[in-house]
Amino acid sequence: MAAAALILPAVPVTPPDYHRIISDRLRIPDDKSLPVPVGLLACQRQHSRDPLLREISTTVVSCNAHKKEQTQTSNKKKKSSATQEKLFEVILHDTVLFPEGGGQPSDIGLIRSASGEEYQVTEVKRRGGHAIHFVKPKHDQVVGLEVGSHVIAALGEDGYMRRLDHMCMHTSQHLLSALLETELNLPTLSWALTSYPTPSYVELTRSITLEEIAQIQAKAHRLAYEGRKVRVEVEPLDSENHPGVATLEGGRTVGKALPSDYTGGIKRTVIIDGVDKNPCCGTHLPSLHNLQLFILPQTESLARGNTNTSRLFFLCGPRLHAHLATSHALLTDVAGILSCGTPAVPARVSQVIEERRRVDKRAEELEFELARIVAEGLLGEMNNSGDPAFVKHYHRTDDSARALGFLQSIASAFITGSPAQAKYALVLTSSPVEKRSTSVTTVLALGSDDERTKTMGDALKTQLGVKGGGRGVRWSGKWIGVWREGKEGAIVEEILKTTQKTD
Ligand SMILES: [Zn+2]
């Protein structure tokens, strides 16, 4: 028998009991000249069978130019950008665009007038109990958004993707915080829905172990496979049922209280069946099916005053997919560079680092040996010169990462090998192979006595513009630019000759 075709809906279906008004005293206002309060907005009700109601036909309740704060017009540049950013504040009877709240950022979207003109909604904010849409005008006007006009408020493609991400992360946070509380007795102090695609986090009173993370992760997966339902209950908000906020022994509050300026009069509770019951104004998935919550197996410790807290990071939905794609691409690139399969990457990287360490050690030993040979050459020159005060400029072209260290090694070997009564003044310079205006030449001056070194250092500063300083018989500095033997080299020779003459 042929397998029966399984017909799945294009998107998960929101069950009819997703949103429940559990009080006789509460009705969704149908007077189109008044706004539905925040707490009962269409984006918070999701009364359609689409879990993400993408648009709604509604009417304009008010439309006014947004008055910008004066502080932004202090200079000409800011003035022009302020003009570009002229916005209108629009209140609609109802909306699918969620105003920021409960840790969830604002939606973006559009408002379409009856004649088809589309205006971008850059942000939605709650003021008192109302959702204010910040609308970008066209030619400084919002034609068709007059009070009483019929309009469509829509998320649009970008707004839909942004909201889907926010919903996945917000429902994940509720589940994660509930499991931390029930399984580990760990309250969530706060949480942050960070900007896409970075992981969001919950802040906890202590760091947690990898075993504890694995335990929470396994429980979260089990609940997701079971497809636990998520639903919302709303009732009028009054003094008896006002959600309080717990305080820890140290005085730190757990979670966020209802904002004191909220005047919508609605108490909204988000319930994950058998797992969690939490006052929240955010938008949530209708079930844990395919929640894909992934907890990053690491915590970040934070020290705040005399309390230590930690952040536990998590990903879900579109953010998790982006993370997997980026991580996989990075790992594949690294494996390609190392010419190995991806599972062999850690071992291969360790091997490369170990090889590098050995090579560095050998290079250091060879440099030390070479420094001694160079110093011996300079000492031989000094001994053969017969000059009462030996002067010498030694220049090398070298791409060493530790040019000064190498010049210091030459200087040390020279000091060790020179007779006690010898008088000398040396300038050692090292330039990179590539000649650019930003190239750095390392300069080291070495004198047989402090005075001689100081004279050289001062002259290198004033006559050549070397930036540096020194103590005792050594003076070191840096010179930036293209080093030419005929010019900069000649100045050094001149400085050394003057040093010799003053003897
Ligand atoms: Zn919430």
Residue 49 confidence (pLDDT): 45
Residue 501 confidence (pLDDT): 72
103 CA → ligand 1 middle, Å:
7
Backbone Cα Rg of the chain: 36
Closest by alpha carbon to 164, among 45, 272, 283? 283
Q: How far apart are CA 115 and CA 112, in angstroms?
A: 8
137 CA → ligand 1 middle, Å:
32
248 CA → ligand 1 middle, Å:
20
484 CA → ligand 1 middle, Å:
67
31 CA → ligand 1 middle, Å:
29
Residue 5 confidence (pLDDT): 43
Q: How far apart are CA 127 and CA 226, in angstroms?
A: 39
174 CA → ligand 1 middle, Å:
6
108 CA → ligand 1 middle, Å:
19
Q: How far apart are CA 413 and CA 409, in angstroms?
A: 6
Cα 141 to Cα 92, 214, 495: the distances in Å are 18, 55, 73
280 CA → ligand 1 middle, Å:
4
52 CA → ligand 1 middle, Å:
17
Residue 245 confidence (pLDDT): 66
**Sequence-ordered strand ranges (E) for 162-206:** 188-192, 200-204
Residue 82 confidence (pLDDT): 43
State which amino acid sits at residue 351.
Q
27 CA → ligand 1 middle, Å:
23
Residue 238 confidence (pLDDT): 82
256 CA → ligand 1 middle, Å:
9
249 CA → ligand 1 middle, Å:
24
Q: Which residues pair with 188 in a beta bridge?
A: 204
State which amino acid sits at residue 254.
V
pLDDT tens, position by position, 65-76: 998 765 544 454
Cα 91 to Cα 46, 69, 111, 159, 478: the distances in Å are 19, 20, 11, 18, 64
pLDDT, mean of each 10-residue run, the chain (503 residues): 43 70 82 87 67 87 85 48 75 94 92 96 94 95 95 96 94 96 94 95 93 96 94 85 69 71 86 93 88 89 81 95 95 95 95 95 93 96 91 94 94 95 95 94 96 95 95 96 95 91 67
Domains of the chain: 22-160 (2.40.30.130), 163-241+250-338 (3.30.980.10), 361-501 (3.10.310)
Residue 470 confidence (pLDDT): 93
175 CA → ligand 1 middle, Å:
10
Helices (H) and strands (E) in the chain, counts: 9, 19
Helix (H, G, I), strand (E, B), or coil: what is residue 206? coil
87 CA → ligand 1 middle, Å:
29
Q: How far apart are CA 452 and CA 474, in angstroms?
A: 10
Q: How far apart are CA 163 and CA 93, in angstroms?
A: 21
430 CA → ligand 1 middle, Å:
62
50 CA → ligand 1 middle, Å:
21
169 CA → ligand 1 middle, Å:
10
270 CA → ligand 1 middle, Å:
8
173 CA → ligand 1 middle, Å:
7
264 CA → ligand 1 middle, Å:
17
297 CA → ligand 1 middle, Å:
23
Residue 215, class by beta-carbon neighbours within 10 Å (0-12 exposed, 13-18 middle, 19+ buried)? middle
59 CA → ligand 1 middle, Å:
29
Residue with tokens 């410790």: 301
Category of 128 on φ-ψ map: left (φ > 0), alpha (ψ -120 to 50) or beta: left
158 CA → ligand 1 middle, Å:
22
Contact 77, 95 (CB under 8 A): no
301 CA → ligand 1 middle, Å:
24
